[in-house]
Amino acid sequence: MTPKPARILIVDDEPAIRQFLRISLASQGFRISEASTGYAAIHTVREMLTADPIDLILLDLGLPDIDGQQVLSTLRQQVSIPIIIVSVRGQEVEKVRALDNGANDYVTKPFGIQELLARIRALLRQHPPAITKPRYQYGALTVDIAAHQVTLHGATIHLTRKEFAVLHQLINQTGRIVTQTHLLRTIWGPSHQEDTHYLRIVISKLRQKLGDDPQAPSLLQTEPGIGYRLCVEFDREDINE
């Protein structure tokens, strides 16, 4: 199956820059999403993880709500897609910090659009847009990311959007502790990262729906005061869209 054209997220607080990039990139066949703040960028990437995900991000560092370096670090905890920094900051220390934080490339404003397009094409060749979506299985439990569906012993288990998102995050980090702060910030948003009771309710519901004993959980383990860990190793299968 032919993959869709790559979707690029433009993160910049200057409308004129976003318009210039939108027109230039769309003329090359790319699909465009936009965000004018750091939190909007994080939210956009999070919301599109399981449906038409972002394939590459152009990220400005001088954002009005949160520094772009922090946005970069947060995004790197969520996704492995290419991120190009496009910033007026040309100091070597900023470039080194961005690359250490996970940026794939760094372009200083003002820039030539042809050079930027060449860098985008080069990164997309290394990280082509996916034409498959993962499906995970452990025993009688199956989690289909593309279909947003969970089955247990062949029966469909209804999960809310938040429950599915938490399970997906834990599967992505199987065997590792995923902190409460990370889950709350990633799924509920930065303003809810202290609302741990939301997370406790979701974990309780997940255990109930997935048949995990809350007194002696074998699937979802609580690390008191820290976070949660998925204790089992899921088999992954990539399914054609």
In terms of average pLDDT, the best of 57-71, 151-165, 172-186 is 57-71
Q: pTM (2 decimals)? A: 0.59
pLDDT digits (tens, 9 = 90+) for 53-106: 889 999 999 999 999 999 998 888 778 889 999 999 999 999 999 999 889 999
Q: Tell which residue, 51, 63, 43, has the closest CA to residue 185.
A: 43
Question: Is the pLDDT reported for residue 1 higher than 50?
Answer: no
pLDDT digits (tens, 9 = 90+) for 96-134: 999 998 899 999 999 999 999 999 999 998 887 765 567
Question: Is the pLDDT reported for residue 239 higher than 80?
Answer: no
* For residue 128, cis peptide bond before it (omega within 30 degrees of 0): no
**Domain residue extents for the chain:** 7-126, 132-240
For 132-240, CATH number?
1.10.10.10
**Of the ranges 45-49, 81-85, 153-157, 200-204, which one carries the lowest mean pLDDT score?**
45-49
The pLDDT mean for the chain works out to 86
Percent of the chain having pLDDT more than 70? 92
User: Quick one: CATH architecture of 7-126?
Assistant: 3-Layer(aba) Sandwich (3.40)
Query: In the prediction, which pLDDT does 92 show?
Result: 93
Question: Is the pLDDT reported for residue 26 higher than 90?
Answer: yes
d(C-alpha 99, C-alpha 1), whole Å: 34
Query: In the prediction, which pLDDT does 208 show?
Result: 92
Query: In the prediction, which pLDDT does 72 show?
Result: 93
Report phi then psi at 122, rounded to 5. -65, -45
Question: Is the pLDDT reported for residue 46 higher than 50?
Answer: yes
Give the pLDDT band (50/70/90) at residue 45: confident
Percent of the chain having pLDDT more than 90? 47
